[in-house]
Amino acid sequence: MPTNNVIFCPSCRQSKNIDSLQHLVNSNKIFLTYGLCQKCRFAIMGVEIKQKLTSTSMSILVDFDKKEFANFNKRAKISVNDVLDIKETLEFPAFVQSISKKITN
């Protein structure tokens, strides 16, 4: 996170003070935050990592409302096997062919 404690909406680049976001999860100096952009009304999900003198943040647009966002953290974590399954699916020739047809049509 910048030292001025400001993030920008990924959609309209409107600046937003970090303190105006709601910290929904606080786990060992890692915060999961949620807020709405006042300008474009998109929901923003952020991850904030605080260290001794600095902090880093990343924000993405989501279509979750506040209740859905609160449930987001309760889902099962992605495992190595999940990642390998996705990789295998993406490499499967029939899948690639199916996607190619959809893109060209």
pLDDT (tens digit, 9 = 90+) per residue, 47-69? 778 777 777 767 676 777 767 76
Whether the Cβ atoms of residue 16 and residue 6 lie closer than 8 Å to each other: yes
pLDDT band (50, 70, 90) for residue 17? low
- DSSP for 61-77, please give it: EE---HHHHHHHTTSPP
Give the residue extent of every domain in the chain.
1-74, 76-105
Q: Residue 56: what residue type?
A: T
pLDDT band (50, 70, 90) for residue 73? low
pLDDT band (50, 70, 90) for residue 3? very low
